[in-house]
Amino acid sequence: MSKKIVGFIIGGILVLVFGLASTPACAELSLRIVGGYYSPIFGKANDDLDELNAALDTDLELKAGTIYGLALGYDLPGRFGLRLEYHSFESKTSDTWSGTWGLWEYRLDLDRKVTTTPLILFLTYGFSPFYIGAGVGSFSTKAEFTNVYEEYYDGSLDYRESESDSDSDSPTGLVLLAGFEFGGESLFLDLEARYVVGTKAKMEDPDFDTEVDLSGAQLSLLAGFKF
């Protein structure tokens, strides 16, 4: 992640921290619980699995799923607001190849997993109750694989071998959002549609040599309170 992005996020954190420490109790600081649905493109990561599926007649595929996390917000003068959000997403897939030759049976269990835990600083602008915003942050991403190979003779395990590895990357990502807030003065809900733009995690380990495209749509529900 570039030094400018790091500095931007650190600056946002400092604004939130000092705002929390120095702002009167009536000011609108907020804490949100984040939950939702995330559908990354995945790109080359799934293309590579398609090649493996063609070779082994398996059905491996990374798919969309749920996100969850926390967000700390701070209202700036006017209609602007800052929000620091941390959330987590995981996609995993597994399948088994098997074959026989006489009394011999062969089995290969394959597991693949991608986990991303973005830390994003958002700037929002409100129209009450609608709002729009953009965020920039670090999308810490880890890819993992496990293969377990077994040979059986006449139903009894004769040989077993396993291998596993992982690689990680933290690309900088841009997120655009549009939301709607409803609720009371203290407790509220936000419904947001988001899109992660052009964010790709590159896995350069020789056992991976792939790329996870994290670009894609999110639909999020945030439950929070102001204090």
**For every one of its 227 residues, what pLDDT tens digit does the chain have, with 9 covering 90 and above?**
444 444 444 444 544 444 444 444 445 799 999 999 999 999 999 999 999 999 999 999 999 999 999 999 998 988 999 999 999 999 999 999 999 999 999 999 999 999 999 999 999 999 888 999 999 999 999 999 999 999 999 999 999 999 999 999 999 999 999 999 988 778 999 999 999 998 999 998 877 788 999 999 999 999 999 88
Cα gap 41→48, rounded to integer Å: 13
Cα gap 75→126, rounded to integer Å: 10
Per-residue model confidence (pLDDT) at position 227: 81
pTM of the full structure: 0.84
Handedness of CA 13, 173, 91, 161 (dihedral sign): negative
Per-residue model confidence (pLDDT) at position 189: 93
Per-residue model confidence (pLDDT) at position 77: 84
Per-residue model confidence (pLDDT) at position 18: 47
Query: CB neighbours of 225 closer than 8 A, spacing ≥ 6?
Result: 30, 31, 186, 187, 188
Per-residue model confidence (pLDDT) at position 98: 95
Architecture, CATH, for domain 3-226: Beta Barrel (2.40)
Per-residue model confidence (pLDDT) at position 8: 45
Cα gap 94→100, rounded to integer Å: 21
The pair of three-digit structure tokens given for residue 18, joined into one six-digit string: 């000092």
Per-residue model confidence (pLDDT) at position 111: 97
Please give the C-alpha separations between residue 142 and each of 31, 53, 196, 202, 220, in angstroms, as whole numbers: 27, 22, 17, 10, 23
Cα gap 210→212, rounded to integer Å: 7
Examine residue 129 and say whether the peptide bond preceding it is cis (omega within 30 degrees of 0): yes
The pair of three-digit structure tokens given for residue 210, joined into one six-digit string: 């792939």
Q: What is the 3-state secondary structure (H, E, C) of the chain?
A: CCHHHHHHHHHHHHHHHHHHHHCCCCCCEEEEEEEEEEEEEECHHHHHHHHHHHHHCCCCCCCCEEEEEEEEEEECCCCEEEEEEEEEEEEEEEEEEEEEECCEEEEEEEEEEEEEEEEEEEEEEECCCEEEEEEEEEEEEEEEEEEEEEEEECCEEEEEEEEEEEEEECCEEEEEEEEEEEECCCEEEEEEEEEEECCEEEECCCCCCEEEEEEEEEEEEEEEEEC
